[in-house]
């Protein structure tokens, strides 16, 4: 009979190792190059033509209204792809061998709500995490769950969500929800 507590402890120890406080999987993607979308502002440099080199906002249709060539679709494109599309449009009767570079001048905002001091939309900074987003919004409220958050992200035509820890990277356009803790 005195071996029973030891046997119980020996059997329970492997099960205790299975318990974790961190989410095992994320539904939201964290890989891949940044894709341009509505609300981003890009800096376009056309080498040899200072008049075309300027900053442009991506409109609701996902296009840049570019002088000479009109709207050029860039939604979902990387900055390299966007440069190629603009160069191809300029090469179509306007310039010979245009050399175009595109970089993000200003990212679209992210949104944060829930148990924080100031909910709303805030300017995204490259490399931002959930923890940095919380700091940007003024910090946790007194009743906040300080160990995890929910991130909503558009992936293709779907809005997906995942429960994440505070060091999870966020992207422009994400919505971060800080839940209330339950004792």
114 and 94 assigned to the same domain: no
pLDDT band of 4, cuts 50, 70, 90? low
Q: Is there a contact between 103 and 166 (Cβ–Cβ < 8 Å)?
A: no
Mean pLDDT of all residues in 51-66: 94
Distances (CA, A) of 180 to 41, 56, 107, 145: 35, 40, 29, 5
| Three-point CA angle 6, 12, 16, nearest 5° | 140
Q: Which tens digits make up the pLDDT trace of 127-183?
A: 899 999 999 999 999 999 999 999 999 887 788 999 999 999 999 999 999 998 876
* pLDDT of 112 above 70: yes
101 and 114 assigned to the same domain: no
Q: Across the beta sheet with 120-122, what order do the strands follow?
A: 120-122, 110-114, 175-178, 149-155, 158-164
Any domain includes 17: no
Instruction: State how far the Cα of 53 lies from the Cα of 67, in Å rounded to an integer.
Output: 10
Q: What's 140's DSSP letter? A: B
CATH number, domain containing residue 94? 3.30.1950.10
CATH number, domain containing residue 114? 3.10.560.10
102 and 113 assigned to the same domain: no
Of 106, 130, 153, which residue is a domain's last? Answer: 106
Q: Which tens digits make up the pLDDT trace of 59-80?
A: 999 999 999 899 999 999 999 9
127 and 170 assigned to the same domain: yes
122 and 150 assigned to the same domain: yes
Residue 84: give the domain boundaries. 41-106
Q: Which tens digits make up the pLDDT trace of 138-149?
A: 999 999 999 999
Of 106, 132, 158, which residue is a domain's last? Answer: 106
pLDDT band of 94, cuts 50, 70, 90? confident
User: Which tokens hold the place of 182?
Assistant: 């339950």
Instruction: State how far the Cα of 143 lies from the Cα of 141, in Å rounded to an integer.
Output: 6
Any domain includes 91: yes
Tally of domains in the chain: 2
pLDDT band of 24, cuts 50, 70, 90? very low
Q: Is there a contact between 44 and 54 (Cβ–Cβ < 8 Å)?
A: yes
Of 75, 106, 137, which residue is a domain's last? Answer: 106
């Amino acid at each position: 009979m005195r071996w029973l507590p030891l046997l119980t402890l020996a059997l329970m120890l492997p099960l205790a190792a299975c318990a974790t406080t961190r989410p095992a999987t994320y539904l939201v993607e964290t890989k891949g190059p940044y894709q341009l979308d509505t609300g981003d502002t890009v800096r376009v440099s056309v080498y040899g033509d200072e008049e075309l080199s300027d900053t442009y906002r991506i409109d609701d249709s996902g296009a840049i209204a570019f002088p000479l060539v009109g709207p050029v679709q860039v939604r979902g494109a990387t900055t390299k792809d966007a440069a190629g599309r603009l160069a191809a449009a300029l090469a179509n009767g306007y310039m010979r061998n245009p050399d175009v570079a595109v970089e993000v001048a200003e990212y679209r905002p992210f949104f944060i709500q829930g148990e924080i001091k100031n909910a709303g939309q805030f300017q995204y900074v490259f490399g931002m995490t959930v923890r940095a987003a919380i700091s940007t919004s003024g910090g946790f409220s007194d009743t906040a769950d300080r160990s995890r958050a929910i991130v909503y992200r558009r992936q293709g035509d779907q809005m997906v969500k995942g429960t994440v820890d505070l060091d999870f990277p966020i992207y422009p356009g994400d919505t971060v929800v800080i839940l209330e803790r339950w004792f």
